[in-house]
Chain A
């Protein structure tokens, strides 16, 4: 299957700092990427759909000014968690769409102290 790389895999930061997560499709071009969040023992929750060359589409309840998404090329989308707080600690996973299938990055575990 297609390969999606997500970096970093683990971040520990202080409250109030911003954290940037990168998601790359390595062997295909993805006009659409997705950002999910997953809390322990919970299901995946879609945060936003990232569209190359246009604004991201955010799900209800997700603050677009807090979770900044940039999809500047067909192989790269970034998620920046601005002014992170302890309640933002979670597992963030990106995926890239190829046809009807989504291929996932390995996820970023964010811990905000």
Chain B
């Protein structure tokens, strides 16, 4: 059982470039999330989705976009990358809205230079 799979693991972007972080889960979870984690700052919610076709902003959505066309996939799009988007990105999914059912991917390390 793969759980939550994120790609790529590492990426270096130049300022102004765009890219998509891929996330897929095989647990048939309705809820999916994108977090970013900066050193000493904890995890901040970027976007979340409560089901296919439904997405909403989290705490720090500026500079990002998401889509949820299927239950399994929740890609995160970075438009016009900026150095402030250098971070570790975690995708997560859950069956219910409780934190005890949330499963995280292994993270994507993004550097914008």
A and B bound?
no
| Residues in chain A within 8 A of chain B (CB atoms) | none
